[in-house]
Structure 1
């Protein structure tokens, strides 16, 4: 089997790192005034738990004679915490972007606010207090607090022009060949309140492999990255 991986050369690895930086820049978006993650003695934010809350799992593979990846689904669920915000928190902005060598797309960007702590704007499916076992709303007034947020399922290939079915697919594969695209995933949290600001960024990668089997085998054509 011939492996036509897009990740094989050092130059491509450098390119992916550049894209990852670009994803982080996209995630910054309208938050250029917010500082980097603060030192431990200053207001700080964190994404708790396993990064697998927004990972794909083990190298999903599409097996299809036409070499197409039709969709890549994401539905992250995350725990966010903050510490040393003396006047509590006014807003928490959650951003997730994905990128490859073809560019970067923002999949989610939503802001939760103290004005309506139980609100579920846009793609947010549910929000709660990360320290409570029930459906309590987050306590934005807490000096040390946190929240949980679960997003609606979204197809990353439908959220922009870079990560699409066309750029992920490999329709010219010969029988028995494979091709892999590495997606860089960046999740960013911006917390602000009472003049205090903190940001935390988590990154990961997801490999999507298209295989055109030898012979006349046929199979479906979508990859599901579903972390709800």
Structure 2
């Protein structure tokens, strides 16, 4: 595992930029200009929501044991909105991927559909109207300008693939007083389609996962800190 707190040279920076592109591809297809609100001017889509919830869940949780990162939990709440869909929206596909220099794993991929607007498939814990209307009422997919709020159930990112795992995040050989940090790139993508119109939006963020062995007691186990930026 690369230690970004001790090894922030330019090759790592290049690697991270390449990884972001790979994450977007895993999340449904490569895009130019990540972070833009949409790839089409009309119609358009956007992602919003509580930044902390987007980045690492309601209560960012990382567990460790003897210098190992055992779990990294995510539970995002996302507000997805659309504009200028003249015939309304037929489906909204939501994808969240997490990656490091070791590779990329897809954590969530779910499709919400106008055919069953109240359905909560797979990892979707609840779905409702747009921001400010988080109730039991289902979203109005038929709205020309509309939106929805999707709350995802907690998922352990280390258990969803082969790249972001306990092994790639851990460092059991740290000396006393040393730390080892892995920066996880998080990409969320929403694809909105209806009536022959389509719009796509991507948001990116990072979460730093750090293992630290206290000075003077390097074998007593690790302390874990999560920093989202």
Alignment RMSD: 2.8
Query: Structure 1, unaligned stretches of length 5 or more?
Result: 31-35
User: Which one scores higher on RCO, CA 8 angstroms, separation ≥ 6?
Assistant: 1
Q: Counterpart in 1 of 2:67?
A: 67
Assess if the C-alpha contact under 8 Å between 2:128 and 2:134 holds in 1. Answer: no
TM superposition shift of 1:56: 3.4
1:35-50 mapped onto 2 (5 Å cutoff): 37-39=39-41, 42-50=42-50
Q: Counterpart in 2 of 1:186?
A: 187
| TM norm structure 2 | 0.85
Q: Secondary structure at the match of 2:126?
A: strand
Pair 60,159 (structure 1): closer, same or farther in 2 beyond 3 Å: closer
| TM norm structure 1 | 0.86
Q: Counterpart in 1 of 2:210?
A: 209
In structure 1, distance between residues paired with 2:178 and 2:4: 7
CA deviation vs aligned residue, 1:138-195 (integer Å, no higher than 9, x gap)? 0001000000000010000000000000000011111111111000000000000000
CA deviation vs aligned residue, 1:31-55 (integer Å, no higher than 9, x gap)? xxxxx6211xx11100123433321
Q: Counterpart in 1 of 2:15?
A: 15
Q: Counterpart in 1 of 2:99?
A: 99
Query: Structure 2, unaligned stretches of length 5 or more?
Result: 31-37
Larger proportion of strand: 2
Pair 5,61 (structure 1): closer, same or farther in 2 beyond 3 Å: farther
1:100-179 mapped onto 2 (5 Å cutoff): 100-130=100-130, 132=133, 134-179=135-180
Q: Counterpart in 1 of 2:33?
A: none
Assess if the C-alpha contact under 8 Å between 1:7 and 1:13 holds in 2. Answer: no
Pair 197,115 (structure 1): closer, same or farther in 2 beyond 3 Å: same
